[in-house]
Amino acid sequence: MAKSPSQIVKDKFGDKNKLVEAVKQFVNDDLWVGRENKDKGLARVSNSKLLRLLETFTTVQSKWGTRGKLIDAVVEAAGRGKDAGYRAHIENWPVPRLYDQFRSLTARSAKAKAEKPAKPAAKKDDGAKKAAPAKKAAAPAKAAPAKKDAAKKPAAKKSAKK
């Protein structure tokens, strides 16, 4: 049976305050975009979201180190290295969104490479004419639907107000 987020927090960290402290390690200029509510802070965030943030920040810091390098990776994965407008647009995104975008772009490019069939070698034309493809047989004409003239009533005219 799958464990609930509160059970995972109790098993790994003991209590929520220790999990919040682990996430606060990443609250710096290298990775964090300061958009949290200063009155409430991270202590009011759900356990599942804190666990996802910790996992994302740990992965990003181990692979790229900083947000700037992650942004570079996203821009390159999108194939828009020279597009300054795109770069300026995604610089406002938080790290989890950037990381998700990077994963989506790399998965999409891997799928495209896997689906791309190998091109067959070009064959030399030895002068023989290709047989014309057979034409499809003409579809039989559909019968026109029966009209219901007797059931129709003439449209009523609107009376003009004077």
Among 49, 57, 3, 51, which Cα is nearest to 26's? 57
d(CA 55, CA 62): 11
Between 150 and 44, the more confident residue is 44
pTM of the model: 0.63
Distant-in-sequence, close-in-space partners of 59: CB < 8 Å, separation ≥ 6: 99
Rounded average pLDDT over 91-104 = 92
Structure confidence by residue, pLDDT tens digits, 108-134: 888 888 887 666 656 665 555 555 566
**pLDDT band, very low/low/confident/very high, at 135 (cuts 50, 70, 90):** low
Cα first-last separation, the chain = 79
Higher pLDDT among residues 142 and 90, named by residue: 90
Q: Which residues 6+ apart lie within 8 Å of 35 measured at CB? A: 94
Q: Is the pLDDT of residue 138 over 90?
A: no
